[in-house]
Amino acid sequence: MSERNTQTGAPAQRLRRHARPLAAGAMLLTLAATAAAGYLSGQRHATPADTFAAVQAGHLARLDRSAQPGHVVFLGSSTFQALDTAAITPTALNLSIGGDTTADLLDRARSYRSLASATAVWLNIGFNDMMQRCASPRGSLPQVFDLVPAGTPLFVLAIQNVSAERLLQRCDGRLSALIDTYNGELATACAARPACQFVPHPANAHLGGDRHASWIESDGIHLSPTGYAAL
């Protein structure tokens, strides 16, 4: 390369070197501005948990559409999702998603065709409402119960209580009391509906004692194999 070309090429190379970090910085500023605009406008961007829940809801919607009539349908969140429903009845159809709130369940289950032909329905929902909002979802109970056709046997399982040692600070220490109150509301609502039976949760009678660790996992929330065997 001639001396002239070498001299003119050096500034161009320096410009290219400086342009790369400038472009990266501009991109970061654009992303930050986009995120800030979304935040200020009240928009909530999807999280991995949101995406996972949406994918699971899609799978269950396809399962519902392909299921034959005459199943015992299980609706709920993590307690039912991890339950060996086939050990209860060979016609079980488990349409539960861990992490669901009553609003989540209502949103996805309103279109379930299997509920119209179900021989019975098991329901366990509301725990995540209290975990997330520290409030009972009792206002949603009529809508949740209405998912099940009148006359179809409905079994409502109580919400299992939690380990006070692990979740003592949750809801300013009121979570356990909230769950107890909500279970009473479930029992009352079920008693007012024909063909509905409220089922106390077997783990609740054993929490807080020496046997607690054998009924609930170390997270203080989910049932252990012993708890599931009792359930």
Q: How many whole angstroms separate alpha carbon 12 and alpha carbon 54?
A: 50
Max mean pLDDT range (22-26, 37-41, 123-127, 213-217):
123-127
Structure tokens at 127: 């725990």
Is residue 26 scored above 90 in pLDDT?
no
Please report which helix (H) or strand (E) contains residue 127, including its range. helix 127-133
Complete DSSP assignment for 147-185: TSPTTS-EEEEPPP---HHHHTTGGGGTHHHHHHHHHHH
Q: For residue 17, which amino acid is it?
A: R
Environment class of 193 (CB within 10 Å of its CB; exposed 0-12, middle 13-18, buried 19+): middle
Structure tokens at 58: 């899609």
Query: Residues with Cβ < 8 Å from 155, sequence gap 6 or more?
Result: 120, 121, 122, 123, 196, 197, 199
* pLDDT, greater one: 47 or 98: 98
Secondary structure of residue 92 in the 3-state scheme? strand
- 165, 220 contact by CB (below 8 A): yes
**What pLDDT digit, counting tens, does each position of 154-212 carry?**
999 999 888 766 666 788 888 888 999 999 999 999 999 999 999 999 888 766 655 56
**Average pLDDT of span 7-21:** 50
**Average pLDDT of span 79-102:** 95
The band of 47, judged by pLDDT with boundaries at 50, 70 and 90, is: low
pTM of the model: 0.75
Report the share of the chain in percent with pLDDT over 70.
Answer: 73
Supply the angle between the helices 48-66 and 102-109 in degrees, to the nearest 10: 40
Query: Residues with Cβ < 8 Å from 183, sequence gap 6 or more?
Result: 158, 159, 200, 201, 204
Q: How many whole angstroms separate alpha carbon 187 and alpha carbon 210?
A: 28
**Average pLDDT of span 140-145:** 94
**What pLDDT digit, counting tens, does each position of 94-113 carry?**
999 999 999 999 999 999 99
pLDDT of residue 162: 81
Report the share of the chain in percent with pLDDT over 90.
Answer: 54
pLDDT of residue 89: 95
